[in-house]
Amino acid sequence: MAAPLAKEQILDTAEEVLRRFGLEKASVVDVARALGVSHGTLYRHFPSKSALREAVGERWLKRVSIPLAEIVKESGSSMEKLQKWFQTLIHTKRSKAIEDPELFSMYNALAEESVEGITAHINELIQQLTEIIEEGIRKNEFKRSDAGQVAAGIFYGTARFHHPALAKEWTSPNIDEEFRLVWNLLLSGLKF
Amino acid sequence: MAAPLAKEQILDTAEEVLRRFGLEKASVVDVARALGVSHGTLYRHFPSKSALREAVGERWLKRVSIPLAEIVKESGSSMEKLQKWFQTLIHTKRSKAIEDPELFSMYNALAEESVEGITAHINELIQQLTEIIEEGIRKNEFKRSDAGQVAAGIFYGTARFHHPALAKEWTSPNIDEEFRLVWNLLLSGLKF
DNA sequence: AAAATGACAAAAATAAAAATTTGTCATTTG
DNA sequence: CAAATGACAAATTTTTATTTTTGTCATTTT
């Protein structure tokens, strides 16, 4: 027989089956059939159906965080990077949410099945932001402050524009204007 | 017979039935039975089941906005009022969400059935904030700026802490700390 | 002996049948 | 005669019966 079944190969097929059949219709048997193996085999690689689903969800989160990590490493002013980072995060999510809302909410449901995976993902994003802000402080672009706390503040302050639970509001015609208002405040503040 | 059936009386009973039976179990027949009238009678007061449900949802939103309107009228510094306004909004929602999550999500689902009602509610809240901020600008407590835009910015920037779709995150032990971080940034900004 | 299989019980999902609810309206009530 | 009723059809929901899926494991394959 061919080489033993690889995890990545299973995940590729599982993803394909999930896309075709949808979150609630896709069964382990379907994935096994698409791979040309018995369903028992899949249980030798993943302990349960949820474990398989979680793995698909976590791989999807990685696809979001990897391009953002690239931006952190780029050259340019910290402010530019900060803006580009958010632009990318928000644009990526928004276009996926609008182009194929079903698929988007499927992947989000998948990811949410792994609370740990989500937490790790959010922490990773805030860590990326922290690095941008630390650099900005060093270069005197930003106020001296606890970079990690400011990173969390900006991330949570912009939640409306990237939190998947609020995706249905991203089709509003004012959404870009609303982001601009929040962004301005986060950068400059209300007080003198 | 008694006096003709009043709308408020129907809403009171509908609310009671919804609380007891839940969003999906409560039928028009149940409401009629609780009122001691035939279900046909209810259709002389509300054109459909959804219209009745929407009315219950909208009344619930009013119960949120009325106490906040009181705060706008109070005396004291604008900053104090701004803080108290958000404290009240967030605390009200949070305690309801945590004390009885089912009831909370039922009322939210109910309210969401009326997109118009929600829009009006949000606009009303932002209008209240606008008044606080306008006054703060007049009294030189806040930077000169478009009060309506700043109001919208603060409201949307704090969405994570009051948007019902994010209620499940309000049980996090760090939620107050996270609010503080966002609040500080919105007031003082990241930049010099 | 490592990897995969397929038969099996328990749990979950689906489909078909039965019962309830929604919404209308001609008739009745006060 | 304004307000309420209750019988009715169509739509929706609930119940029940049937089928499929999940997860295990002793056996088979390479």
What are A17-70's pLDDT values in tens digits? 999 999 999 999 999 999 999 999 999 999 999 999 999 999 999 999 999 999
pLDDT at B140 over 50: yes
> Would you tell me how many other CB atoms lie within 10 Å of the CB of residue A70?
11
Q: Name the region of B76 (left: φ>0; alpha: ψ -120 to 50; beta: rest).
A: left
Q: Is strand D less than 7 A from the beta carbon of B37?
A: yes
- Calpha distance A76→B141 (Å, rounded): 36
Q: What are the residues whose beta carbons fall under 8 Å from the beta carbon of A44, sequence distance 6 or more?
A: none
pLDDT at A192 over 90: no
Determine the pLDDT at residue A1: 38
Q: What are the residues whose beta carbons fall under 8 Å from the beta carbon of A6, sequence distance 6 or more?
A: none
User: How far is the CA of A39 from the CAs of A34, A36, A55, in angstroms?
Assistant: 10, 9, 17
Say yes or no: A39 and A101 in one domain.
Answer: no
> Which residue in chain A has the smallest CA separation from B167?
A165
Q: Is B2 contained in some domain? A: no
Q: Is strand D less than 7 A from the beta carbon of A47?
A: yes
> Would you tell me how many other CB atoms lie within 10 Å of the CB of residue A83?
15
Say yes or no: B83 and B35 in one domain.
Answer: no
Say yes or no: B27 and B98 in one domain.
Answer: no
Q: Is B89 contained in some domain? A: yes
Residue B72 belongs to a domain with what CATH number?
1.10.357.10
Say yes or no: B63 and B39 in one domain.
Answer: no
Element (H, E) at A28: helix A28-35
Say yes or no: A39 and A132 in one domain.
Answer: no
Q: Is strand D less than 7 A from the beta carbon of A190?
A: no
pLDDT at B34 over 90: yes
pLDDT at B171 over 80: yes
Q: Which domain holds residue B21?
A: 7-43
Read off the amino acid at residue A36.
Answer: G
Q: Please classify residue A166 by burial: count the beta carbons closer than 10 Å to its beta carbon, then call 0-12 exposed, 13-18 middle and 19+ buried.
A: middle
Say yes or no: B98 and B33 in one domain.
Answer: no
Q: What are the residues whose beta carbons fall under 8 Å from the beta carbon of B16, sequence distance 6 or more?
A: B34
Counted domains in chain B: 2
Determine the pLDDT at residue B2: 42
Determine the pLDDT at residue B189: 72
pLDDT at B1 over 60: no
Q: Is B180 contained in some domain? A: yes
Q: Using H for helix, E for strand and C for coil, what is the string for B61-73?
A: HHHHHHHHHHHHH
Question: Which residues of chain B have a CB within 8 Å of the CB of A150?
Answer: 181, 185, 190
Say yes or no: A29 and A58 in one domain.
Answer: no
Say yes or no: B72 and B23 in one domain.
Answer: no
| Higher-pLDDT residue of B66, A189 | B66
- Calpha distance A163→A170 (Å, rounded): 10
Whether the Cβ atoms of residue A151 and residue A126 lie closer than 8 Å to each other: yes
Q: Is B1 contained in some domain? A: no
Give tens-digit pLDDT for A95-123.
999 999 999 999 999 999 999 999 999 99
Say yes or no: A104 and A182 in one domain.
Answer: yes
- Calpha distance B132→A76 (Å, rounded): 40
pTM over 0.85: yes
Q: Using H for helix, E for strand and C for coil, what is the string for chain B?
A: CCCCCCHHHHHHHHHHHHHHHCCCCCCHHHHHHHHCCCHHHHCCCCCCHHHHHHHHHHHHHHHHHHHHHHHHHCCCCHHHHHHHHHHHHHHHHHHHHHHCHHHHHHHHHHHHCCHHHHHHHHHHHHHHHHHHHHHHHHCCCCCCCCHHHHHHHHHHHCHHHHCHHHHHHCCCCCHHHHHHHHHHHHHHCCCC
Q: Is B142 contained in some domain? A: yes
Locate A153 and state its tokens: 């503040």
Q: Is A48 contained in some domain? A: no
Say yes or no: A85 and A11 in one domain.
Answer: no
pLDDT at B59 over 80: yes
Is the Cα dihedral A14, A22, B107, B86 positive or negative? positive
Residue B33 belongs to a domain with what CATH number?
1.10.10.60
The residue of B105, B185, B191 whose CB has the most chain A CBs within 10 angstroms, and thus the best one to mutate to test that interface, is B185
Calculate the CA A131 to chain-centre distance.
18
User: How far is the CA of A73 from the CAs of A121, A128, A131, in angstroms?
Assistant: 18, 10, 9
Determine the pLDDT at residue A45: 95
DSSP A167: G
Q: Do A156 and B182 touch (CB under 8 A)?
A: yes
Largest CA distance in chain A: 72
Q: Is A2 contained in some domain? A: no
Residue A66 contacts B, CB cutoff 8 Å: no
pLDDT at A189 over 80: no
Say yes or no: A91 and A171 in one domain.
Answer: yes
pLDDT at A151 over 70: yes
Say yes or no: B81 and B144 in one domain.
Answer: yes
Q: Is B107 contained in some domain? A: yes
Question: Which residues of chain B have a CB within 8 Å of the CB of A182?
Answer: 153, 156-157
Determine the pLDDT at residue A191: 62
Closest CA to A125 of A96, A165, A95, A154: A154
- Calpha distance A137→A114 (Å, rounded): 35
Give tens-digit pLDDT for A81-96.
999 999 999 999 999 9
